[in-house]
Structure 1
Amino acid sequence: MSRKTWTAVDDYIVASLFEPDPVLDAVLAANRDHSLPAIDVSAAQGKLLSLLVRIGGARKVLEIGTLGGYSTIWMARGLPADGKIVTLELDPHHAKVARSNFERTDVSGKVDLRVGPALQSLAALSDENAGPFDLIFIDADKPNSPNYLDWAMRLSRSGTVIVCDNVIRDGDVVNEDGRDANVEGARAAFSFIGGDRRLDGTAIQTVGAKGYDGFAIAIVD
């Protein structure tokens, strides 16, 4: 199997199961036009996140790592009318593009975008008693994954779903001797989830337009 095949299958999934979506197409085009890195989740992955929000009946979602807001919009679409998603972004340029993208949609009123270092924003959310969140999606700088998971636990409740993206790293996650900081972050995420008895988790390996990677998914007991 090759990435060409994986991408073709992703395209088939979208063509078979999704309605045409000019809004999300425009969001991705805006991200490209403003030179954001092409690291958004795929459409199929975005729909999975939206479905997880709906399946869990989430009303409050926390996203760590906004980029241009593509995944934010997917999750916001899964929320009920009175739902809210707080999304955290470090880069002011990325945040500016994301705000513009949110304005293209009918979910902009559900989005609370906060700009700055995520660990500072998470501490502020805790001080505000903003939690608990029903679903937390972690898709930011990978070396900080255990720190984000620690904050996720503080901002969660029994039943909160926590999703970490990019935990397989082309299979390099099994390399104990690697020195890649992103791989080390993925391994630290596995160690955190596996070592915390309050969490019941698994991981899903994914192939597709985004290559070979995967999600770790856990629920707080």
Structure 2
Amino acid sequence: MSGSQQVWDDVDDYFIRTLSPDDEALRAALRDSEAAGLPAIAVTAAQGKFLQLLAELQGAQHILEIGTLGGYSTIWMARALPDDGRLISLEYSAKHADVAVRNIARAGLDRIVEVRVGPALESLPKLADENPAPFDLVFIDADKANNVHYVEWALRLTRAGSLIVVDNVVRGGQVTDASSSDPGVVGSRGAIELIAAHPRLSGTALQTVGGKGYDGFALARVLG
């Protein structure tokens, strides 16, 4: 079996075209993100649809996203929410947040989506102080070095049955290297080991291939 990137791209293109076609709001979000110089690290359409389906399966009313970028994944997830739902997305970069806010508004989702700017580890305690309704889904896709802290905060802000998704955990296969000093590897390993050891979490991690190359994500369910 071929493992070439072209094969992965072609299969992803087929899946996306058949199962998760985009629309003008999503295409425009990617175009404007690129035009603004944001890094091309948004989830694929197939991954966005996967997040949307997870939210729908959860019957999600409240979603927390850590790492907004240009709002592409935000749009996918927000579309799963009811009219009275709420999605809070935390973004470190004011520049990224400005692009995301425009993209989200163009998609007609600004009434239920709020983008908060600043380091997530400063925004999360402030969010907790507001005593929000528990989040049904948390998508963690920010600086990987702080993944452990993000999972810990996700636990504080969720309920039994909530889902936590941690993206980009494979790190090009380096996640297996216990001696690595790379912050992204250390953070990803820490998150996976926290999920494994925590009595309130049941989880797994899956390797993926596709338009973004070789990667993977961790998925955990909050038990109580």
TM-based fold match above 0.5: yes
Unaligned runs of 5+ in 1: none
> Which residue is equivalent to 2:18?
16
> Which residue is equivalent to 2:199?
197
Alignment map for 1:65-144 (pairs within 5 Å) = 65-144=67-146
Alignment map for 1:198-217 (pairs within 5 Å) = 198-217=200-219
Residue 204 of structure 1, CA deviation: 1.5
Q: Kindly provide the CA deviation profile for residues 121-146 of structure 1, in whole angstroms up to 9, marking residues without a partner as x.
A: 10011100014111101000000000
> Which residue is equivalent to 2:48?
46
Partners of 1:49 and 1:92 lie apart in 2 by: 24
- Is 1:188 matched up with 2:190? yes
1:20 and 1:124, CA in 2 relative to 1: closer, same or farther beyond 3 A?
Answer: closer
Residue 75 of structure 1, CA deviation: 0.2
Q: Is the 8 A contact 2:63 2:87 kept in 1?
A: yes
> Which residue is equivalent to 1:160?
162
Q: Is the 8 A contact 1:59 1:79 kept in 2?
A: yes
Q: Is the 8 A contact 1:14 1:44 kept in 2?
A: yes
Residue 17 of structure 1, CA deviation: 1.6
Partners of 2:76 and 2:18 lie apart in 1 by: 18
Q: Kindly provide the CA deviation profile for residues 58-103 of structure 1, in whole angstroms up to 9, marking residues without a partner as x.
A: 1000000000000000000111121110000010000010111112
SS of 2:111 mapped into structure 1: helix
Partners of 1:32 and 1:89 lie apart in 2 by: 17
Unaligned runs of 5+ in 2: none
Residue 18 of structure 1, CA deviation: 2.9
SS of 1:159 mapped into structure 2: strand
Residue 171 of structure 1, CA deviation: 1.4
Q: Is the 8 A contact 1:125 1:131 kept in 2?
A: no
Partners of 1:97 and 1:110 lie apart in 2 by: 17
Q: Is the 8 A contact 2:21 2:45 kept in 1?
A: no
Partners of 1:60 and 1:15 lie apart in 2 by: 29
The TM-score with structure 1 as length reference comes to: 0.98
Q: Is the 8 A contact 1:170 1:211 kept in 2?
A: no
Partners of 2:21 and 2:38 lie apart in 1 by: 26
Deviates more, 1:183-192 or 1:12-21: 12-21
User: Would you identify which runs of 4 or more consecutive aligned residues in structure 1 move more than 4 Å?
Assistant: none
| Matched AA of 1:9 | V
Q: Is the 8 A contact 2:34 2:40 kept in 1?
A: yes
Q: Kindly provide the CA deviation profile for residues 183-221 of structure 1, in whole angstroms up to 9, marking residues without a partner as x.
A: 111101111101101100011111001111111001110
The size of the alignment, in residue pairs, is: 221
SS of 1:109 mapped into structure 2: coil
Partners of 1:19 and 1:102 lie apart in 2 by: 18
Question: What is the root-mean-square deviation of aligned Cα atoms in Å?
Answer: 0.9
> Which residue is equivalent to 2:171?
169
Residue 20 of structure 1, CA deviation: 4.5
